[in-house]
Amino acid sequence: MTDLGRAALILFVTAVMLLLAIDVAAAKSKKTTTVPSTPTQHSAPPPDAQSTDGKEPSKAASSTTATEEAQKPTDKWTEAEIADAKAHCAIVLQRIHAVAIPHEPIKEGACGAPAPIELISIGQNPTVSFSPPPVVRCDLAEALVHWLEHDLQPLARKHFGSQIIRIETMSDYSCRNAYGRKSTKLSEHGLANAVDIGAFVLESSETASVFDDWGTPQREILARIAAEKAAAEKQAADAAAAAKSEQANLTEDHRPAKTPPMATASKLGAPAGGLARSTIIEGVPKLTVTLPGGSTGSKHPASGSRPRGGKSDAKKVDLASAAQRHAGASPDPELEAFLHDAHKAACRIFGTTLGPEANAAHRNHFHVDMAYRRYKKICD
């Protein structure tokens, strides 16, 4: 290679290296200038993160709020639900004898009814009023009319020769759980699907009150019998314990003397003293003695203990006689009979019928509701 060629090659290599050096320097300069700008870019909040100090919210915030609102449970019935319920209620009211005032829709969480009514009266000739008028669903109103016309009025004529003119209510719509439950199952009262009835007033001015005229519930009678039996058993146990203590004291205080007491002859040929001691300890009442101060011909076991089954048997409770003793008669047997017959009739109509026999909470009223029962209605 000539000198000229070598010189050209050297110049080319030098130019390439110079260009590479310039590129590296430029890259370093760019990196150095971008680092200080980083805090500045992040110091200003993004548009979506601006506060609501008089400025319009961002689109993203509006979208989030709308989603949350859509997910909140509604406390209103839809227009379609209300319309369907009112149409059904109108059909029901046309086929029964009832006077009712439409009530505004009720919605409290899971409670309420889309088209409840305030039931003023049912039946005809005579019209039977409610005091106070209950807020119920129309299906319950229809069941009450059926109960009145097919059962209650015939029973009133049978027992009193009179008819019902007023039904006194105690509870209707109430948003709560079923009796005795702090959670889970909602009461039918919470659906305007139940009513509590305390009394029936007749044309003859008589009143059949559930509390006053039902009579003593069988559950209360059985509870009293069980309490008496437990008391009698405790008394018998206390008497047995006292007798045992007395027997121990007699054994300690009356040691056999050298001269044996008067006694019947032992068939076993054992000495009288030995037999007396054996009888006291083992409890075999084969030896009898005449105690000082005892009546003539009166015989007692040598141990002074009572025969087995003596007072204990006398304390046994006769359940049948106790039931008769506790079964307080109603002031008017016809009132009691009417209420029991009315309760039985309700059990054939309503999904649930509860009365004084159910529990203490229903001692003063009938609870009837339209709960759906797939297999068997509740009747207590």
Joined tokens for residue 181: 């439950």
Q: What is the pLDDT of residues 203-248, one digit of tens each?
A: 999 999 999 999 988 876 777 787 778 788 788 888 888 888 888 7
What number is the average pLDDT over the span 314-332? 50
In the chain, what percentage of residues exceed pLDDT 90?
Answer: 46
Looking at residue 330, its pLDDT comes to 52
Residue for token pair 């008496």? 228
What number is the average pLDDT over the span 153-158? 98
Residue 112, phi-psi category: left (phi > 0), alpha (psi -120 to 50), beta (remainder):
left
User: What is the residue-averaged pLDDT of the chain?
Assistant: 75
Do 61 and 48 form a contact (C-beta atoms < 8 A)? yes
What number is the average pLDDT over the span 358-377? 93
Q: Which residue has the higher pLDDT, 25 or 366?
A: 366
Q: Spell out the domain ranges in the chain.
A: 79-215+332-379, 219-256+270-323
Q: Is the pTM of this model over 0.85?
A: no
Half-sphere exposure of 273 (CA within 13 A, CB side): 7
Looking at residue 253, its pLDDT comes to 65
Q: What is the pLDDT of residues 105-125, one digit of tens each?
A: 999 999 999 999 999 999 999
Looking at residue 254, its pLDDT comes to 63
What number is the average pLDDT over the span 181-201? 90
Tell me the C-alpha distance between 315 and 167, whole Å: 47
Half-sphere exposure of 104 (CA within 13 A, CB side): 3
Joined tokens for residue 47: 């548009």
Residue for token pair 């006398």? 314
Residue 181 has pLDDT above 50, yes or no: yes
Which amino acid is located at 61 in the chain? A
Tell me the C-alpha distance between 73 and 81, whole Å: 16
Q: What is the pLDDT of residues 22-36, one digit of tens each?
A: 766 666 655 444 444
Averaging pLDDT over each range in 2-6, 202-206, 275-279, 306-310, which range is the top one?
202-206
Q: Which residue has the higher pLDDT, 302 or 58?
A: 58
